[in-house]
Each structure stands twice: as C-alpha cells, then as structure tokens.
Structure 1
Amino acid sequence: MRIGLLGTGPWAQLAHAPALSLAHRTGLRGGVGRRTAPTKELADSYGVRAYDDVDALLADVDAVAVALPPAVQADLAARAARAGCHLLLDKPLAPTVEQARAVVEAVEEAGVASVVFFTTRFQPETEAWITEQAAVEGWFTGRAEWLGAVFSGDGNPFADSPWRQDKGALWDVGPHALSVLLPVLGDAGRVTAAAHGPGDTVHLVLDHAGGASSTLALSLTAPAAAAGATVELRGAAGVTLLPESTESAVSALLRAADALLTATRTGRPHPCDAAFGLRVTEILATAEALLNGDV
C-alpha cells in the first residue's frame, strides 16, 4: 500500500514519518506540507518525494496519513477519500460534528477504509486490557484522569499549537479517554455534567449505555510531577486499572498502519474507524456546549 503523508509539523516528524518509513507492508511515497522548506527537509530525510500539490500526491498513492490540525485534517480527509485514498487519521477527527460527518460520508461514498489513531488502542498491553474488560459484565463506574503538562513547562513541541491553545485538553486528550471508556462501558448516552478546573482542565460526568457512569478529568496544564494517565474500573468483578504501555507512539502508529491495510484487504471496518471518530466528536461537542453554557 503506497502511502503519502499530509503535514510536516512536530507530530509528523516525531511519529508519522518514522513509523511509515519502517512499515513493512506499506511504503511511504512522499509528503506535502504548507511550507516548502520543511516539506523538502522531511522528504529528503526519508528519501521520498516532496510534493508541492495535494492532488498530485493523492493521484500517486493508495492511502494518506494525516498529521495536521483537526479542521485542516477533516477537509483534506474528505478530499482524499473522494480521490479514492484510504485514510490513516489522527484524533480528534474534526473540531465540529458537521466536519466529522462530512468525512464519514466521503468515506462511505468512496468505499475506502479508515483508521483514526487513538494511541492507547494500538498499544498491545492496553488494547488487550480494553478487549478483556469489554467482555466483563457488571461495571458500575469508571474513572479516567488524562493529565498532560503540555502548557506547564518549557520546550514541549506542541505547546505552540494554535488548535490546542484554542480547544484545550477536552479535544486533545479527551479523545484518548473516550477511546478507552466507550468500548468497555458502552456508548455515552448523555453528558450529565461538565465543569472547568484550573487552566484548561475540565471535568466530565457521562452516563453509558451499559448502565455505568464515568468521570473524566482532562488537562494539558497539570504540573509536570502530576502528569499521567489513569483509567480505573469498578464493578461486580472488582477493581482494575489500565496497564502502562511500553510501546512508543512510533510502534503504535506502525500497528495502526497495519490495521488500515487489513481493513482495506478484508473490507471489515476497524473499531477505530471514521465513524467511531465521529461519535467521539459528537460527545466532545456536547461537553463543549455544556462548558460554554450553550445548553
């Protein structure tokens, strides 16, 4: 599967390009970015073509990986799908429900495969835990704390990201928490409460289709010493915690690329496809409206 990379920012440099260059069953063919110099530098580093036109890249590849802000990703993903390209996307799928739905509609109309990269879902230890807990009945409640220090210290490559500054932890790490809770506790039928904390911290309460409730604490402004991710489940089976993973983002992205290839060959949608990305976007949009007092 020939794959092209859209985006040349920190995430493309740190994760996408290294992962796709290592993939055995896919081949990185080239990349395109907003600025010519970084695009050429990234392409030269991996011995691939630097494109100056998105449509030219789409015509040369079977799939695209997207490492761009959500609003840009959504528009280009729909465009790529209409060009017949399979999609390896990042979270969140889009910053609005309308944009996310447009991606799903383009994917369905074109008949292409899609995978949204929720890191925890592509790390062996955590994915195995999620699968195991989803088969357990009687969960009473879940607690997810996803606390980052992106805005708390110096030197974080994502601190200057305009979309993260605008959308905050709800949209950046909220998708990670939801990607763990939803397959275990069931869809979130209702966001029952949403409140602001310090910095960009938000607290959410969800009701799930399986009868359980969950609480989420999300932040990009936590002190570095307090940063980390915890998911705890409590129910008839007892108490269990999401295990830590030893896998890097590069290794997880390799698994995501492999999952996309499998989906293209089998025709079976991956659990983390664009439709799941849309559902996560819908939940985040509802929470955002509650936080803003719009509902």
Structure 2
Amino acid sequence: MSTTTPVEVGLIGAGPWARTMHARMLAAGPETRLAAVWARRASAAREVAEPYGTVVAGTLEELFDRCEAVAFAVPPAVQAELAVRAAKAGKALLLEKPLGPDLASARAVADAVADAGVVSQMVLTKRYHPSTRDFLRRAAQLEITGARSCYLHGAFLGGEFATGWRLEQGALLDLGPHLLDLLDAAIGPITGIRGTGDPRRWVELTCEHENGAVSQASLSGSVLLPRARTRIELLGPAGELVFDTSDIDHEECWPILRAEFAAAVRSGRSGELNAARGLRLQELLDAATPR
C-alpha cells in the first residue's frame, strides 16, 4: 500500500473532545481520513459525523470493519474496555490519557497492544508542540538539581469538560499524566513519588528522579484563573530553564500528532509515546494517589 494513502480511522466517542479535536483533526487529513464514528448514543455520534460527511457505525464491529485504526475520545473506563477489543481486532490505537481508570485496567490495555503487536500512540497534547520539543532538547543539556511545576485551571468548576469521571477522580488522573510525562522526560526517570491533598480540589506531588533531582508538581482543576496555567521551572548550577505554555497555540499540535500517528501506522512501528508510555504514567499516578 502506498505510504500516501490516508489511514482510515474510526472514532469512538461523541463528547466535547471528540467534537472539538478528534473528529476535526482526523477529517482534516491528508494523512488520515475519518472513516466512521461510533458512540453508545447514535444521535450523538451523528452530530459528530455529519459535518465531515462520514458514516455512523451501528455497532462497534461495524466501526472495526470500516477502519484500520481507532481513535478514542471516551472516559478512561470505557477506553480501557474497548481498546482491548480494538487491539484484539488488529487495529492501531490512538489513545487518550489516562490509559485507564486504574493501574490494572491500564496494564490490560498495554498487554493487549503488546500481544496483538499493533501500533499505539498516546494523545499527550503538549508533546506534539514544537516549543515543547525544544524545551526537552534544551533540558537534556542541563544538570538539574530541582524543579517546580504546576498544571492549574478551573474547568472542573463548570462547563462541558466538568464531566463525571473528572469530577469524581480529579486532577491527578486528568492533568497528572501531562505534567508527570514532561517532568519524567525533561529531568530523568521518576523513581519515587508521593502525593498529598485531595485530587478533586488540589494535589501536591513530590518526585524523586534517577539522577538525584527532586521536583514538585501542583495540580488542580478547581481554581478560578483567567486561563489554564502549565509551567515548569528547572533549576541547577548553570541557571534556570522555564517552560510556560501560556503562549502555546494548541492548533499547532494537531497536524504533528496526526502525521506522526499515520506514519507509525504505515511503518508498523510505534513511537515513544505509545501504550507502554501510558502504562508507565499510570504506574506513577497509582503510586502518587493519596491514600
């Protein structure tokens, strides 16, 4: 098959993230084509599919028949269940964070991906922005002693993203994967982690890294701010390196994400942001959960 042939992607989910990001990104091409949409409510799936002239699959099996890859825009518990089925059906997977609602379900997804030998990729949004990649390149050249970081917003206070699983499980499961992924990548592997607080209000993490550095991470989706705040400050004997996403245009992430997923599917080789990475982050989340 020609490498220029668009990857046929089926979308599972019809919520706000499916409407505003996944469907639009996959339909924009040229590397991918939105082949079908499936959701448990057919009327919701139709609202997502119609603007792009694609079909609504009547069943999950019909969606699988119409695509070679599956993108997920559903709550973690639903993703964990259906991703295993998609992997067993031989489909490449574009997965949201967290991989599952808990460590056992995340491990089941990663195991299914490994057993089936299918391509997988995590939607860790900020990782696909050029400024993030520049930050990680610069961080790799530094001796880092410690770090402070935060991911804060007020989306849990109301609006379409104040959904059931986010309100129930809080910022650790929703925002934690993004920040822990960046800290682990920028400073070095996290070897120890402790969490305090209430993830539904505010949680504070202390991370110990393989190179001896210590980092702090503050997470909350329940604080009123003019805009979301994601900031990492790396400090060491040579000075400070700051990464602040306030000026990032997330629209620049989607073409890179789409192109890299399509390239992985066509080559049959997953990149570093695969299901195994998702499991690694879930292990950290589990260890950090205040008990």
TM-score range, shorter chain: over 0.9
Aligned partner of 1:4 in structure 2 is: 10
Q: Is the 8 A contact 1:126 1:245 kept in 2?
A: no
- Does residue 1:157 correspond to 2:153, yes or no? no
Other structure's SS at 2:160 match: coil
Unpaired segments ≥5 residues, structure 1: none
249 and 35 in structure 1: CA distance in 2 versus 1, 3 angstrom threshold: farther
Report deviation, 1:257.
Answer: 2.3
Aligned partner of 1:68 in structure 2 is: 74
Report deviation, 1:132.
Answer: 2.6
Cα displacement string for residues 116-153 of structure 1 (whole angstroms, at most 9, x for unaligned residues) = 011110111112211331x224111121110011123x
Of 101-110 and 276-285, the range deviating more from structure 2: 101-110
Q: Is the 8 A contact 2:122 2:273 kept in 1?
A: yes
Alignment partners' CA distance in 2, 1:6 and 1:253: 18
Alignment of 1:254-269 (within 5 A): 254-269=255-270
Report deviation, 1:237.
Answer: 2.8
Alignment partners' CA distance in 2, 1:49 and 1:226: 36
Other structure's SS at 1:242 match: strand
Alignment partners' CA distance in 1, 2:82 and 2:75: 11
Report deviation, 1:245.
Answer: 6.5
Report deviation, 1:109.
Answer: 1.4
2:109 to 103, 111, 115: 103
269 and 36 in structure 1: CA distance in 2 versus 1, 3 angstrom threshold: closer
1:142 to 135, 138, 147: 147
Alignment partners' CA distance in 1, 2:282 and 2:199: 23
Report deviation, 1:78.
Answer: 1.2
Other structure's SS at 1:91 match: coil
2:190 to 188, 192, 197: 188
Aligned partner of 1:84 in structure 2 is: 90
82 and 249 in structure 1: CA distance in 2 versus 1, 3 angstrom threshold: farther
Report deviation, 1:198.
Answer: 9.1
Instruction: List structure 1 segments (4+ residues) > 6 angstroms apart after TM superposition.
Output: none
Other structure's SS at 2:286 match: helix
Report deviation, 1:236.
Answer: 2.8
Alignment partners' CA distance in 2, 1:48 and 1:250: 23
Report deviation, 1:162.
Answer: 0.7
Alignment partners' CA distance in 2, 1:269 and 1:38: 31
Q: Is the 8 A contact 1:18 1:250 kept in 2?
A: no
Q: Is the 8 A contact 1:142 1:231 kept in 2?
A: yes
- Does residue 1:25 correspond to 2:31, yes or no? yes
Please report the TM-score for the alignment, with normalisation by the length of structure 2: 0.93
Alignment partners' CA distance in 1, 2:70 and 2:169: 25
Aligned partner of 1:203 in structure 2 is: 204
Please report the TM-score for the alignment, with normalisation by the length of structure 1: 0.91
Aligned partner of 2:222 in structure 1 is: 221
Unpaired segments ≥5 residues, structure 2: 1-6
Q: Is the 8 A contact 1:169 1:219 kept in 2?
A: yes
Q: Is the 8 A contact 1:19 1:250 kept in 2?
A: no
Report deviation, 1:251.
Answer: 4.0
Alignment partners' CA distance in 2, 1:4 and 1:197: 36
Other structure's SS at 1:3 match: strand
Alignment partners' CA distance in 1, 2:114 and 2:224: 43
Alignment partners' CA distance in 1, 2:205 and 2:120: 28
Report deviation, 1:103.
Answer: 1.0
Aligned partner of 2:171 in structure 1 is: 169
Other structure's SS at 1:27 match: strand
Of 106-115 and 252-261, the range deviating more from structure 2: 252-261
Letter in 1 for 2:185: P
Q: Is the 8 A contact 2:149 2:216 kept in 1?
A: yes
Across the aligned residues of Structure 1 and Structure 2, the Cα RMSD in angstroms comes to 1.7
Alignment partners' CA distance in 1, 2:267 and 2:84: 22
Aligned partner of 2:19 in structure 1 is: 13
Alignment partners' CA distance in 1, 2:32 and 2:127: 20
Matched residues, percent identical? Answer: 36
Letter in 2 for 1:184: A
Q: Is the 8 A contact 1:117 1:253 kept in 2?
A: no
Alignment partners' CA distance in 2, 1:247 and 1:186: 24
Q: Is the 8 A contact 1:232 1:242 kept in 2?
A: yes
Alignment partners' CA distance in 1, 2:188 and 2:209: 5
Q: Is the 8 A contact 2:167 2:200 kept in 1?
A: no
